[in-house]
């Protein structure tokens, strides 16, 4: 027999505020609550289960519209369709998160380059093209690697990227198209091994790996051919593994 809960009890148990619960009911995310003779809302155990599902979907970055679609599947009482829909949403959000990581890495590089530029020249008069106030740091004649975090060994390449921001999207598209040929990803010491399908354009792979190593010198690449097939092996310092995985994917 299902227990009845007042809105304060549900708020305490679910972590959602009473105002949020009323809003979810208003937009149809929660079914309309029953009422006591005095007009107080009453909820049941099924509502708590639904709120736990909603909380998990929010934790995974789903919007209210996406959660509304998911609850339709959840109401069917079978996990399979819910998993199928949630798996698709998670894959899309994972791809987006990876792209944001790479983009933020490039932005961090550009901001640190700008910070350095703002300290190198202080004119006595108005701002000029070298002071850093009116000139984009990405227009500097020779982009120099700058640290993106961590404490890399001084003898090692800094965890940095010198690719200009306007080139990031094109580079990501190039890798996305090439990595579509990956059949599986396996962990290796300091990185991952991506086994490639037979239709992989190896010339493009070599070009991209060389270009990436040129702007992100903390990466090391190796193209291997053995009994397991053709593969791209990518390694990076421990502090740079999140960047590596955001670009090349997580090993299974």
pLDDT of residue 225: 82
Q: Which two tokens stand for residue 240?
A: 């740079």
Q: How far apart are CA 153 and CA 202, in angstroms?
A: 33
Q: Are strands 41-43 and 191-196 parallel, antiparallel or unpaired?
A: unpaired
pLDDT of residue 156: 58
- Tell me if 135 sits within 8 A of 168, measured CB to CB: no
pLDDT of residue 105: 65
For domain 5-77, the question of CATH label 1.10.1660.10 is answered with yes
pLDDT of residue 252: 81
User: What Å distances lie between residue 180 and 10, 63, 102, 233, 249, CA to CA?
Assistant: 45, 27, 18, 16, 11
pLDDT of residue 100: 74
Q: How far apart are CA 116 and CA 139, in angstroms?
A: 14
pLDDT of residue 181: 92
- Alpha-helical regions (H) of the chain: 7-14, 18-26, 45-59, 64-74, 79-120, 165-179, 202-215, 241-248
Identify which of 223, 218, 217 has the alpha carbon closest to the alpha carbon of residue 193.
Answer: 223
139 Rama class: left (phi>0) / alpha (psi -120 to 50) / beta: alpha
Ordered mean pLDDT values, 10 residues apiece, the chain (252 residues): 84 93 93 90 93 93 92 90 90 78 68 75 84 63 38 57 80 91 93 92 87 88 85 92 91 85
Domain regions of the chain by residue span? 5-77, 99-248
Cβ neighbours of residue 86 closer than 8 Å, sequence gap 6 or more: 57, 60, 70
């Amino acid at each position: 027999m299902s227990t009845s809960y007042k809105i304060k009890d549900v708020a305490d148990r679910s972590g959602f505020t009473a105002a949020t619960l009323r809003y979810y009911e208003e937009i149809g995310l929660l079914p309309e609550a029953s009422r006591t003779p005095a007009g107080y809302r009453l909820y049941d155990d099924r509502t708590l289960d639904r709120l736990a599902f909603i909380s998990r979907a929010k934790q995974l970055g789903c919007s209210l519209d996406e959660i509304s679609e998911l609850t339709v599947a959840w109401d069917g009482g079978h996990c399979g369709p819910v998993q199928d829909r949630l798996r698709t949403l998670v894959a899309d959000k994972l791809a987006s998160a990876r792209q944001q990581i790479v983009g933020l890495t490039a932005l961090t590089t550009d901001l640190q380059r700008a910070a350095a530029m703002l300290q190198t020249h202080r004119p006595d008069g108005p701002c000029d093209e070298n002071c850093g106030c009116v000139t984009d740091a990405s227009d500097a004649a020779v982009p120099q690697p700058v640290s993106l975090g961590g404490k890399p060994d001084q003898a090692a390449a800094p965890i940095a990227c010198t690719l200009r921001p306007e080139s990031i999207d094109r580079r990501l598209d190039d890798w996305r198209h090439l990595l579509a040929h990956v059949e599986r990803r396996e962990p290796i010491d300091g990185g991952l091994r991506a086994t490639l399908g037979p239709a992989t354009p190896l010339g493009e792979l070599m070009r991209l790996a060389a270009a990436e190593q040129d702007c992100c010198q903390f990466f090391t690449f190796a193209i291997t051919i053995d009994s397991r097939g053709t593969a791209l092996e990518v390694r990076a310092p421990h502090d740079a593994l999140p960047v590596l995985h955001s670009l090349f994917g997580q090993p299974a």
